[in-house]
Structure 1
Amino acid sequence: MRSLTRRAVLRALGVAGATAAVAGCAPTIGTARMPQVAGTYDGPPVTLRFWNGLTGGDGPVMRTLIEEFTAAHPNVRIDMYALPWPDFYQKFPAAVVSGLAPDLALMHNFQVATSAARNVIMPVDEVLGAVGLAEADYLPVVWGSGVYRGQRWSLPLDMWPDSLFYNRRVLEKAGLDPDAPPVDRAGYEAALDTLASSGVRGHWLPAIDPQGVGRGFDSLLWQLGGTHYDDAGRSATWAGPEGVEALAWQQSLVRQGWSPNDVSGSDANVAFKNDQNAFLWGGPGALINDLGQVESLDWDVSPLPRIGTQRAAFSGSHQFVVARQQSFDADRLAAVVTFLGWILENSLGWASAGPVPARLPVLQSPELQDLPAQAHVAQGVEHIRFYPLVPGIAEVQTTILYPAVGDALLSLGDPRAALETAAAQASFLLTENAEKYGEA
């Protein structure tokens, strides 16, 4: 399938002009309705098409789960098509509009509102009972993450909060307790000072990787009591005192000599594996499996330290969606619901990919303790934060805020000026997005 530009996707959706409101002008396929289905499919053999962006170490884990599901449900086959996330988000809307939509897909929580506004996924309120989901089984922030314009559009599979990965051997060599990672600002800065006195820069800040360093800024902003946007999602608010303090604290890691300047996330990762630094801030989906492959590495993980006045950590979530079809087949949809119910109930198996289960009965099960790193990450999930449910919000974060944070860390320039410039740019894009997605 050829790649489509964003403008071409908008045209394909039947929108007049690049800035027309996709959500407000649904294409012809928007009239399709899902039939009522039961929770277990027992009909003739059916093959489902499942799209996602699981091209790393998480892909084989999902394929193994699919094999287990098929063994228990031999009449349902699932063809999984994984492609890099940027390609997925480009091709998925085009496939829906062209009538080549998969039956279901997995996407990030911060893309759900955008997909709903584009009218390329279906509301799933009516299948909650058949899938077997209940609000009490999820943290409020997670349960609410799939609700947009009063309807539910996605089903949460997992959570992957940024956490504190620490090198036990480096801490012990510096005279620090390897079993007691710092939990607050005073303890964290004291540990970095102690490490520096032993010749170790304890926290390598990946300033040239906007995604990683930007998520650290997110966590700090929330910890300091700040917000990214106003309640309407029309204006960026990160340039307030809390944002300035968050960025200034990140700069202090370099100014104090606790982090080298001009390093990447891979630099920090390699240094950690070679006992050259002590701390990494990052998500469990990437780091647990990566670090676990280094047999000689002595490491563990805990929730992020509280640098501000309250605990908070950026988190993402993989969420299942049902793709909009030109027409729905009851058998296929029943098979989709059967698979979703099974995998969400058995999401402990997915935890081996790194993220922790979103469903609380699974998260709190004794079996999770057999995965020590994931169990330690789970200790911080009550304090996770998600991006707000605003269409196009991921674009604002990744193309405006995160590069601004990275540039300010590389230059060590005025944090207020950097954030104010980015906020002005973001507010313009937020207004444009509101018009485009029918939010104005």
Structure 2
Amino acid sequence: METSTFTRRAVLRAIGAAGLAGVAAAVTGCAPTIGTAALPRIPAAYDGPPVRLKFWNGLTGGDGPVMRELLAEFTREHPNVRIDMYALPWPDFYQKFPAAVTSGLAPDFALMHNFQVATNAARKVIMPVDEILQTVGLREEDYLPVVWGSGVYRDQRWSLPLDMWPDSLFYNRRVLERAGLDPDAPPADRAAYEHALDALASSGVRGHWLPAVDPQGVGRGFDSLLWQFGGEHYSGDGRAATFAEQPGVDALAWQQSLIRTGWSPRDVSGSDASMAFKNDQNAFLWGGPGAFINDLGSVEGLDWDVAPLPRIGTEQAAFSGSHQFVVARQPRFDADRLAAVVTFLGWILANSTGWASAGPVPARLPVLDSPELAQMTAQSHVAGGVEHIRFYPLVPGIAEVQTSILYPAIGDALLSLGDPRAALETATTQASFLLQENAEKYGRA
């Protein structure tokens, strides 16, 4: 599934866990206790009679066929294990997965986003997986601290990281060159980025189409900028929002300046920005490798590349997510099925180079450093910025706060060009109320 460009392991391991802001509320709460509290002991590998597993995820795009091919490859090597993959749109997955578990119809294992792990751990619909770490070959020294810690909630590990997908700077080389800019030297800081936008404007190109009508896309850009300006989204206990403090105001004000200055059209969507990029009418896209690498790579004649996000604030930082494997809680575990699950998880985490063709880069540093990923130009360029990735804090319900309150507020402020502080203060009040509700809903430590 994955690999990398140069030997970054020593450098990356030296990076602290700065991206792990905040810890979580509690696991108890009103969610029912289902099945056993710990996984039973299993052998190192499954070598029993034929078994058929159910695997749920939200891989309904171009990443789905990549995962299916990996499953087929695993089955060719392990003919006694068949894995049926069920891909649902992510919103449907997160709604139906807990219901399936509570009704006793859970899949054997699933793939979910890192920022949903704490929520599902608090709901008690996934199992702690500390007992299988050695069996699947996970070692702390093989991961960035922010990634290693992303599956740990209340001192237990609930998920196994597969990948990282940091927001990155995708740039149209032909458009830059036409504006007199060096297509081999994408802007890496605010001064260079704004200089490039000015040069592009002089050539008649609005260089950064900000997708204000798509809260998800523009909100993740805000996340990166908030961290770059030295801010955090939430208090350390996860009970109060802090994005209305000065770093958040500075981040939103800079986004607004893209529109006020004319560097971006005012009312565009992510698809508008992508289409303009493909037609040489736009120079820059901010987004994740899973969304863009294969999409842009399929456009014949498009001359593009990718680099880490430019540093607009005082710190280098970029939003990132991670797909993580979880083991679903069962009314009763079947030893053969569980052993087969663990055998597959160990295999795919060790042989994840193929997954990189879906766009994300490997979470596991030995795979990230392999020669195979170095041959994937776009992925290796994305991997060059992973030491600066940041994750949301490990707070149950955090994704709901981001998507239902913060991101719409960012979108509204960009569409209206209203006062950024006022917009963020209103969102902070609403978010803090929801965080308090979540703390009660999911219990107290």
Structure 1 distance, partners of 2:37, 2:159, is 18
Structure 1 distance, partners of 2:226, 2:84, is 41
State TM-score, norm by structure 1.
Answer: 0.94
CA offsets 1:164-219 (integer angstroms, 9 cap, x no match): 00000000000000000000000000000000001000000000000000000000
Q: CA deviation at 1:366?
A: 1.1
| Aligned match for 1:380, one of 366, 382, 385 | 385
Structure 1 runs (4+) deviating above 2 angstroms are 21-28, 30-33
Residue matched to 1:342:
347
Between the two proteins, the alignment pairs up a number of residues equal to 420
Q: CA deviation at 1:31?
A: 3.3
Q: CA deviation at 1:28?
A: 4.6
The residue identity in structure 2 corresponding to 1:52 is: N
| Aligned match for 2:142, one of 137, 140, 147 | 137
CA offsets 1:338-359 (integer angstroms, 9 cap, x no match): 0000000111100000000100
Residue matched to 2:289:
284
The residue identity in structure 2 corresponding to 1:255 is: R
Q: CA deviation at 1:391?
A: 0.1
Q: Does 1:92 align with 2:105?
A: no
CA offsets 1:211-235 (integer angstroms, 9 cap, x no match): 0000000000000100100100010
Structure 2 distance, partners of 1:76, 1:166, is 43
SS of the aligned residue for 2:312 comes to coil
More displaced stretch, 38-47 vs 194-203: 38-47
The residue identity in structure 2 corresponding to 1:380 is: G
The residue identity in structure 1 corresponding to 2:330 is: Q
Unaligned runs of 5+ residues in structure 2 are: 1-25
Q: How does 1:217-296 map to 2 (within 5 A)?
A: 217-296=222-301
Q: Does 1:38 align with 2:43?
A: yes
Structure 2 distance, partners of 1:254, 1:247, is 11
Structure 1 distance, partners of 2:226, 2:115, is 18
SS of the aligned residue for 1:250 comes to helix
Shift in alpha-carbon separation, 1:211–1:158, aligned structure 2, 3 A: same
Q: Does 1:171 align with 2:176?
A: yes
State TM-score, norm by structure 2.
Answer: 0.93
**C-alpha contact (below 8 Å) 1:32/1:327 kept by paired residues:** no
SS of the aligned residue for 1:285 comes to helix
| Aligned match for 1:116, one of 112, 117, 121 | 121
Q: CA deviation at 1:32?
A: 5.2
Residue matched to 1:414:
419
**C-alpha contact (below 8 Å) 2:163/2:361 kept by paired residues:** yes
Structure 1 distance, partners of 2:145, 2:224, is 18
Q: CA deviation at 1:65?
A: 0.2
CA offsets 1:262-290 (integer angstroms, 9 cap, x no match): 00000000000000010000000010010
Shift in alpha-carbon separation, 1:28–1:180, aligned structure 2, 3 A: closer
Q: Does 1:185 align with 2:183?
A: no
Q: CA deviation at 1:35?
A: 1.2
SS of the aligned residue for 2:192 comes to helix
Shift in alpha-carbon separation, 1:32–1:150, aligned structure 2, 3 A: closer
SS of the aligned residue for 1:271 comes to helix
Structure 1 distance, partners of 2:49, 2:440, is 45
| Aligned match for 1:333, one of 334, 338, 348 | 338
**C-alpha contact (below 8 Å) 1:33/1:327 kept by paired residues:** no
By relative contact order (CA 8 Å, sep 6+), the higher-ranking structure is 2
SS of the aligned residue for 2:313 comes to coil
Structure 2 distance, partners of 1:236, 1:360, is 33
Residue matched to 1:324:
329
Q: How does 1:353-368 map to 2 (within 5 A)?
A: 353-368=358-373
Q: CA deviation at 1:33?
A: 3.7
Structure 2 distance, partners of 1:58, 1:343, is 15
Residue matched to 1:393:
398
Shift in alpha-carbon separation, 1:319–1:201, aligned structure 2, 3 A: same
SS of the aligned residue for 2:34 comes to helix
**C-alpha contact (below 8 Å) 1:401/1:422 kept by paired residues:** yes
**C-alpha contact (below 8 Å) 1:39/1:341 kept by paired residues:** no
More displaced stretch, 37-46 vs 270-279: 37-46
**C-alpha contact (below 8 Å) 2:31/2:122 kept by paired residues:** no
Structure 2 distance, partners of 1:354, 1:321, is 21
Residue matched to 1:15:
none
Structure 2 distance, partners of 1:279, 1:176, is 13
SS of the aligned residue for 2:86 comes to strand
Q: CA deviation at 1:29?
A: 1.8
Structure 1 distance, partners of 2:367, 2:69, is 18
Q: Does 1:157 align with 2:162?
A: yes
Structure 1 distance, partners of 2:323, 2:369, is 19
SS of the aligned residue for 1:64 comes to helix
The residue identity in structure 1 corresponding to 2:438 is: N
Q: CA deviation at 1:39?
A: 2.2
Shift in alpha-carbon separation, 1:241–1:28, aligned structure 2, 3 A: closer
SS of the aligned residue for 1:388 comes to coil
- What percentage of aligned pairs have identical amino acids? 83
Structure 2 distance, partners of 1:69, 1:55, is 20
The residue identity in structure 2 corresponding to 1:233 is: G
**C-alpha contact (below 8 Å) 2:114/2:324 kept by paired residues:** yes
| Aligned match for 1:200, one of 191, 202, 205 | 205
Residue matched to 2:3:
none
SS of the aligned residue for 1:308 comes to coil
Q: CA deviation at 1:439?
A: 3.0
Residue matched to 1:51:
56
Structure 2 distance, partners of 1:242, 1:364, is 34
Shift in alpha-carbon separation, 1:340–1:260, aligned structure 2, 3 A: same
Structure 1 distance, partners of 2:46, 2:93, is 28
Q: CA deviation at 1:369?
A: 1.2
Q: Does 1:215 align with 2:220?
A: yes
Structure 1 distance, partners of 2:208, 2:36, is 53
Q: How does 1:66-81 map to 2 (within 5 A)?
A: 66-81=71-86
**C-alpha contact (below 8 Å) 1:164/1:301 kept by paired residues:** yes
**C-alpha contact (below 8 Å) 1:33/1:328 kept by paired residues:** no
Structure 2 distance, partners of 1:270, 1:56, is 18
